Amino acid sequence: MKMGKFADLSKRFSLTICILFVLALLVTFSGNPIMSVLVVATVSAMAGVGVWEYAKLASTKGVRPAVFLMVIVAVCEVIAFFIAHKWIDSPELPVFVFAVGLGLFFLNRFRRAEEALVN
């Protein structure tokens, strides 16, 4: 086995441990309203980075995803779950954000005539 494949493994592992430690601290103090907003911002940023990495992986396979749209929808979905949890008047907000995101993905995919369903 070549060690070249695992050259940055220790760096990635230490960064992951640091991020998990910070996230554990944020969750511990999330009872504070300011900290709960900070937790949501952190988790939505992590979701955005995760979706961005997935889109970059897909682009190496020859697929051209809408990276910016994917990241925006992922971040908005996390924020929608937070809002739906905090304010009981809007429990359907995450479903609405998902439906809007799905519609935007559909419109983005078929916006050109050669990719349209009906020619």
Answer yes or no: are the C-beta atoms of 100 and 87 closer than 8 Å: no
Tens-of-pLDDT digits for all 119 residues of the chain? Answer: 455 666 777 888 888 898 889 888 888 888 888 888 888 898 899 899 999 989 888 888 888 888 899 999 999 999 999 999 888 787 899 999 999 999 998 888 877 666 555 55
pLDDT given for residue 80 in this prediction: 94
| Long-range pairs of 42-45 with CB within 8 A, sequence gap ≥ 24 | 43/78, 44/74, 44/75, 44/78, 44/79, 45/75
pLDDT given for residue 24 in this prediction: 87
Answer yes or no: are the C-beta atoms of 44 and 35 closer than 8 Å: no
Give the integer Cα–Cα distance in Å for 107 and 24.
39
DSSP character for 113?
Answer: G
For the entire predicted model, the pTM comes to 0.74
pLDDT given for residue 97 in this prediction: 93
Answer yes or no: are the C-beta atoms of 81 and 94 closer than 8 Å: yes
Give the integer Cα–Cα distance in Å for 76 and 10.
32
pLDDT given for residue 115 in this prediction: 55
| Long-range pairs of 29-38 with CB within 8 A, sequence gap ≥ 24 | 36/82, 36/86
Give the integer Cα–Cα distance in Å for 43 and 78.
7
pLDDT given for residue 119 in this prediction: 52
pLDDT given for residue 75 in this prediction: 95
